[in-house]
Chains A and B, each alone.
Chain A
């Protein structure tokens, strides 16, 4: 059973436009959410996170939105740059219950076209 779902395997966006990557989860015990970026042959790199007590967190060009009632989060990248082309993973943990291994989605491959 896939507790974290990224239903779009790929996304293509023009340089300078907004990229929106979506993620849904089923486990209501998840209380902390993270986005990781991964280039081929490298480990995932942490990008941005959000606690379940918030609905938005912003860091430069990256903003994560959380809709707890819909069990949905999204990552917005504005403006998109060619260097953003990578696979993006959504991950979740049950931080307050001490269940800390990350549960990942399958990823979305973002291609930013110059």
Chain B
């Protein structure tokens, strides 16, 4: 297992377009987390899944954001009608229910022009 992977690594889009990111967690991990990091800030929690169930959503996750984990394996994060304020690094992490350590993926850098 090579760890948490994310695709794409970079995405440049025009304001108003929709974008979708993918995260593949470590295979035996049943928890999957999405975070967002902007310049000068630490990662901020967006949402997390245990298996296919979305257990918690941050108030940062506006109605333009939706996340899914349909089969309890990979997850997608979609942003509709992107805004310049959505420009950030989107990070995915996974963990098991018995471990407090969440390895992170390399992130997807989104730039909205």
Contact = CB atoms under 8 A, between A and B. Distances in A.
Interface stretch (B12-20, B36-44, B70-78, B79-87): B36-44
B104 A100 contact: no
A101 B41 CA distance: 16
B100 A43 contact: no
A34 B42 contact: no
B31 interface: yes
Interface stretch (A55-63, A69-77, A78-86, A102-110): A102-110
B43 A100 contact: no
Q: Chain A: interface secondary structure?
A: strand
B107 A42 contact: yes
Interface in A40-56: 41-46, 49
Interface residues of B, number: 26
Contact of A32 (B93, B100, B105, B107): B100
A65 interface: no
A104 B42 contact: yes
A106 B37 CA distance: 10
Interface string A27-44: 000001010100001111
B56 A46 contact: no
Contacts of A45: 104
B102 to A, nearest CB: 6
Interface of A: 4, 6, 9, 32, 34, 36, 41-46, 49, 89, 91, 93, 95, 100-107
